[in-house]
Amino acid sequence: MQLNIVDDYDALSRAGAALMADLIAAKPAASIILATGETPMGVYRELAALRQRAQLDASRLRIFQLDAYMGLGPDDRRSLYGWMRRSFLDPLGVPDASVVRLPGDAPDPEAVCAAYDAAAQAAGGIDLAVLGLGPNGHLGFNEPPVDAAAPTRVVALTPASVESNARYWGGPDDVPCYALTAGMSVLLAARQTLLVVSGAHKRAILYRVVAGPITPDVPASYLQQANNVTILADKAAWGE
Ligand code: F6R
């Protein structure tokens, strides 16, 4: 696990984009699990700027959606797929057909979760997982406590996650209580992981992720044992 501390959010965004651009240059058809949430948005904007300058071709990527709220179609304003489309797929020129979705509105959510894990296997594994860190240590919607072997599945959101996601949707009552998430087993098997962490409100949990025990109570602490993990944090998240 490598911890890179950079000055601020802009520097984090540039460094994250450089890491992703290197991977994409080396493997243009890479399979990437992609988070939404606020933290990686600057990384995606930097990548879009690289594309506009014709310095990046992301059109052959295969993108795996990290998580989805249960019961929402892709056009619901709260859909994480819609967010990923606006922030990454459209600006980077990745067609919908190249995305392995977690459709929150599927009639058989268990079946789509199993199909997702099968698709990751069929792709030869995940080349890069781009993740943000939840205030309770969650990755995707792998809420604590979680087993490292947990597959992709339906989960109930903890009150902490409902609370932290409420800011996006106008209030806690608008946050769905269930979600689909890529499982810890899929995330931990990725050949490379980029975890982006910004802001003083993440300081306590980031310290536990990096320096605390590996525990189901802090899902991201399992990254201590994963392959080729880069944590990019700004000074606000780590301290001077
Ligand atoms: C988003 C996701 C979440 C976020 C995490 C951090 O797809 O799966 O795990 O990455 O909650 O969110 P931000 O970046 O908004 O602090």
Q: How far is the CA of 136 from the centre of ligand 1 (A)?
A: 11
Decide whether any atom of ligand 1 lies within 6 Å of the 132 Cβ: yes
pLDDT higher at 173 or 137: 137
Q: How far is the CA of 132 from the centre of ligand 1 (A)?
A: 5
201 is catalytic: no
Decide whether any atom of ligand 1 lies within 6 Å of the 38 Cβ: yes
Q: Which of 61, 1, 56 is nearest to 32 (CA)?
A: 61
Task: State yes or no: pLDDT of 169 exceeds 90.
Answer: no
Decide whether any atom of ligand 1 lies within 6 Å of the 65 Cβ: no
Decide whether any atom of ligand 1 lies within 6 Å of the 195 Cβ: no
In this predicted model, what pLDDT tens digit does every residue of 20-77 receive, in sequence order?
999 999 999 999 999 999 999 999 999 999 999 999 999 999 999 999 999 998 888 8
Q: In the predicted model, what is the mean pLDDT of residues 126-134? A: 98
pLDDT averaged over every residue in the chain: 96
Range with the poorest average pLDDT among 77-81, 88-92, 192-196, 221-225? 77-81
Task: State yes or no: pLDDT of 240 exceeds 80.
Answer: no
Task: State yes or no: pLDDT of 138 exceeds 90.
Answer: yes
**Per the residue annotation, which of 46, 127, 142, 143 is the catalytic one?**
143
The per-residue pLDDT for 111 is 97
67 is catalytic: yes
Q: How far is the CA of 35 from the centre of ligand 1 (A)?
A: 7
- What pTM was estimated for this model as a whole? 0.97
The per-residue pLDDT for 129 is 98
